Amino acid sequence: MMFEKFNFHPFIQRALLDLGFFKPTPIQEEVIPLIQKGQNVIGKSQTGTGKTHAFLLPILDDIKTEGQLEALIIVPTRELGMQIFEEIRKILKHHPGYVDARLYVGGTDRNDEVERLKKSQPQIAVATIGKLKDLAIDSNLLKIYTARRVVVDEADMVFVPEELADIDRIFSVFRDDVQTLVFSATVNQELAVFLNKYLKTFVTVDLTEKKITKEEIEHVFIPTKNKDKNALLVELLKLFHPYLALIFVNTREKAEAVALHLSNSGFKPGVLTGDLQPRERRKVLKKIKDGDYQYVVATDLAARGMDIQGVSHVINYELPQDIEFYIHRTGRTGRMDFTGTAISFYDYENEDYLKNLEKKGLRWVLKELKGGELVTVEERFKRKFSKKEQALLELQSRIPLSKKVKPGYKKKRKEIIEKELKRMKRAYIDAKYKNLAKKIRRGEA
């Protein structure tokens, strides 16, 4: 097994065999040794690349002390918390002894949690900000100050303006030498402030600059101008017969409307939106897991903070305004080593959207549904890039970001690219004037 180089305990090796993991993913290759060395880590990678086990494996391999909290994992949503806790249980069932792992998220029995905390402390805990404020800060029942490690998963969703005061109180409790591991697909302003405030030294492992999406995902854009999107969606679903299709829209109202049309067309869709009560959401997720739903209409709730297995197709009925959400949505398919298809409905007036995706390194293809199959649209419809844009893309690929980004390198890289663009522009102008001078001398101008 290629995990052997990490020198995990035998129970971790047994768990890996049980999980069917034989080869570390790139994020695991980079992050696990750093965690084992005790370094603070900022991990950035696409979704579905194995980052959860990148921190779980070394942490669970190093739980030592009974009766006190050693590792705390902070999550933005109860669904993500439940999924991580389930992975912890899968690994710990191979442990020769007993490791006390507990989950603290909304919708659980607080009285039971309080009574149990009065008797003993967990060794590892997965918790949302709200639960930490309640159990650790306001009532001091969960003794988070003993933690040797703290993980913040999907950090850009944790560090939002309305949570910052509580986060500040929580982090002020940790010991000075706590190892902090932060995982996020993007770094928003609030997260950047936190990193500068609480982490004096850290190693950044950034795999997002190389590829913003996995090669296993095919990105298809279908022009929908003057077309019935509902009818097109039905045709596509009949054509693909997906194992599981996530159909993304931007609002709850649109999700309900699309789901109703699918129901009237003979499909049995599930619906996942932000206003669902925890019980209803759990019910939908269970039906997805049990295979009762082959089609799920969702808002961006389903793109972040929960891991839905087996997604063969992602369909953007509506494109998200933020390109980062396009990446999160389409990252639901093509998980681990599986292939996936991302199809987006598109109007030609949205050219800038495709342009920006391509600038980020994403390769897409335009197709149309004709004669019961998807065929590539003629080249003349594709966005033509200016010479400056082509030069910028070439320079970005020639001067890539390294996996471990040193402080100030991004700024230096940007300055190098801008300087090279100016040089190329001057060379272009000089060549143009030299050519003009030659024509004048020959009497052609």
**Co-location of 293 and 425 in the same domain:** no
CATH code, 308 = 3.40.50.300
The answer to whether residue 253 sits within a structural domain is yes
- Residue 130 CA to residue 136 CA, distance in Å, equals 10
Could you tell me where the beta strands, DSSP code E, fall in 266-398? 269-272, 295-298, 313-316, 340-346, 365-370, 373-376
**Co-location of 266 and 358 in the same domain:** yes
**Co-location of 231 and 267 in the same domain:** yes
Pick the range with the lowest mean pLDDT from 42-46, 125-129, 440-444.
Answer: 440-444
Residues 220-269: tens digit of each pLDDT: 899 888 889 999 999 999 888 888 889 999 988 999 999 999 999 999 99
The answer to whether residue 357 sits within a structural domain is yes
Mean pLDDT across 306-331: 83
**pLDDT at residue 338 in the model:** 63
Q: Is 443 exposed, middle or buried (0-12, 13-18, 19+ CB in 10 A)?
A: exposed
Q: Which domain holds residue 61?
A: 2-206
The answer to whether residue 211 sits within a structural domain is no
Residue 85 contacts residue 103 (beta carbons within 8 Å): yes
- Residue 288 CA to residue 256 CA, distance in Å, equals 17
Mean pLDDT across 436-440: 67
Residues in contact with 198: Cβ distance below 8 Å, sequence separation at least 6, in sequence order:
171, 180
pTM for the whole thing?
A: 0.62
Tokens of 262: 């699918």
Q: Which of 181, 206, 231 is the last residue of a domain?
A: 206
74: left (phi over 0), alpha (psi -120 to 50) or beta: beta
Higher pLDDT, 168 or 390: 168
Higher pLDDT, 1 or 225: 225
**Co-location of 196 and 60 in the same domain:** yes
Name the band, by pLDDT with cuts 50, 70 and 90, for residue 417. Answer: confident
* C-alpha dihedral sign at 84, 89, 95, 98: positive
**Co-location of 394 and 377 in the same domain:** no
**Co-location of 140 and 195 in the same domain:** yes
Name the band, by pLDDT with cuts 50, 70 and 90, for residue 201. Answer: confident
Higher pLDDT, 146 or 161: 146
The answer to whether residue 212 sits within a structural domain is no
The answer to whether residue 140 sits within a structural domain is yes
The answer to whether residue 162 sits within a structural domain is yes
The answer to whether residue 41 sits within a structural domain is yes
> Looking only at Cα atoms, what is the longest distance across the chain?
97
**pLDDT at residue 381 in the model:** 44
- The single residue listed with the structure tokens 């808002």 is 299
Q: Which of 185, 206, 227 is the last residue of a domain?
A: 206
**Co-location of 191 and 168 in the same domain:** yes
Name the band, by pLDDT with cuts 50, 70 and 90, for residue 379. Answer: very low
Higher pLDDT, 46 or 123: 123
Say how many Å lie between the first and final Cα of the chain, rounded: 72
Residues in contact with 376: Cβ distance below 8 Å, sequence separation at least 6, in sequence order:
365, 366, 367
Segment 95-103 long-range contacts (CB within 8 Å, at least 24 positions apart): 95/11, 95/60, 96/11, 99/60, 99/63, 99/123, 99/124, 100/66, 100/124, 101/125, 101/126, 102/126, 103/127
**Co-location of 180 and 233 in the same domain:** no
Mean pLDDT across 162-188: 88
Beta strands 71-75; 149-152: pairing state: parallel
**Co-location of 410 and 268 in the same domain:** no
Q: Residue 441 above 60 pLDDT?
A: yes
Q: Residue 400 above 70 pLDDT?
A: no
Q: Which of 206, 228, 259 is the last residue of a domain?
A: 206
Mean pLDDT across 340-364: 80
**pLDDT at residue 281 in the model:** 80
Supply the mean pLDDT for the chain. 83
Name the band, by pLDDT with cuts 50, 70 and 90, for residue 334. Answer: low
**pLDDT at residue 254 in the model:** 93
Name the band, by pLDDT with cuts 50, 70 and 90, for residue 14. Answer: very high
Q: Residue 386 above 60 pLDDT?
A: no
DSSP of 421-433, one letter per residue?
Answer: HHHHHHHHHHHHH
**Co-location of 367 and 412 in the same domain:** no
The answer to whether residue 364 sits within a structural domain is yes
Higher pLDDT, 309 or 305: 309
**Co-location of 95 and 138 in the same domain:** yes
Beta strands 41-44; 179-183: pairing state: parallel
Taking only Cα atoms into account, the Rg of the chain, rounded to an integer number of angstroms, comes to 25
**Co-location of 166 and 281 in the same domain:** no
**pLDDT at residue 336 in the model:** 53
- Residue 78 CA to residue 84 CA, distance in Å, equals 10
Residue 235 contacts residue 253 (beta carbons within 8 Å): no
Residues in contact with 243: Cβ distance below 8 Å, sequence separation at least 6, in sequence order:
294, 310, 311, 312
What's the number of domains the chain is made of? 3
Residues in contact with 318: Cβ distance below 8 Å, sequence separation at least 6, in sequence order:
248, 249, 250, 254, 345
Name the band, by pLDDT with cuts 50, 70 and 90, for residue 61. Answer: very high
